């Protein structure tokens, strides 16, 4: 966490459409959302036309539940797009924001979770939201720090306090990060 710059954030100018997301970078008919669902499936679904997924089983770490339908899941940007904007992505190019929104290079960036848990999170940071399943809190905040570090994003003072308090209760394990962009 020491590598993260602490500063106030600003949502000025943010709109979700400034982050082109759910692209099909490898042109295999499966967009980023489907790629995450395929990667995280506990039981692999069948892939139909236009990468329609049927069958399969997924685990939502946010609420410690299993789901047997892809439509019951959202693919969450661990650090939400609006939070990334507030924390420095507003200065990125459109291409850099697209790469962030579709990051398949680090499994911590995007995670398949229940639609209900993702929607309760919305664009909140750990100072105002943690997953409903407390058993996942340490992993969540560790991944949050890794993602913010990877993209050289800032944290605000409330976020810093919340992260420090939560991390103080977690096992002390090193975080490996490969910088993006």
Please check the confidence at residue 93 and state whether its pLDDT lies above 80. yes
Position 111 confidence tier, pLDDT thresholds 50, 70, 90: very high
Q: Is residue 179 part of a domain?
A: no
Q: Find the angle CA(102)-CA(107)-CA(113) to the nearest 5 degrees.
A: 85
In the chain, % of residues over pLDDT 90: 92
Average pLDDT over residues 48-67: 97
Position 66 confidence tier, pLDDT thresholds 50, 70, 90: very high
Please check the confidence at residue 2 and state whether its pLDDT lies above 90. no
Q: Is residue 14 part of a domain?
A: no
Give the domain extent around 106: 19-167
**Number of domains the chain is built from:** 1
Mean pLDDT taken over the chain: 96
Please check the confidence at residue 181 and state whether its pLDDT lies above 70. no
Distance CA 148, CA 152 (A): 6
Q: Is residue 5 part of a domain?
A: no
Helix (H) or strand (E) holding 60: strand 58-60
Average pLDDT over residues 159-163: 97
Q: Is residue 39 part of a domain?
A: yes
Q: Is residue 141 part of a domain?
A: yes
Whether 114 and 62 have beta carbons less than 8 Å apart is answered as yes
């Amino acid at each position: 966490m020491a590598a993260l710059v602490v500063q106030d954030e600003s949502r000025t100018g943010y709109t979700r459409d400034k982050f082109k997301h759910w692209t099909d970078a490898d042109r295999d008919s499966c967009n980023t959302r489907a790629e995450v669902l395929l990667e995280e499936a506990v039981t692999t679904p069948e892939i139909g036309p236009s990468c329609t997924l049927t069958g399969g089983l997924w685990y939502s770490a946010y609420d410690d539940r299993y789901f047997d339908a892809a439509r019951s899941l959202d693919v969450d940007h661990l650090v939400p797009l609006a939070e990334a904007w507030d924390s420095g992505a507003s200065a990125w190019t459109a291409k850099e924001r697209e790469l962030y929104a579709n990051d398949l290079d680090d499994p911590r960036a995007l995670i398949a979770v229940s639609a209900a848990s993702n929607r309760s999170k919305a664009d909140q940071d750990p100072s105002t939201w943690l997953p409903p399943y407390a058993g996942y809190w340490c992993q969540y905040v560790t991944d949050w720090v890794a993602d913010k570090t990877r993209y050289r994003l800032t944290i605000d003072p409330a976020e810093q306090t919340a992260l420090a308090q939560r991390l103080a209760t977690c096992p002390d394990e090193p975080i490996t990060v490969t910088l993006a962009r």
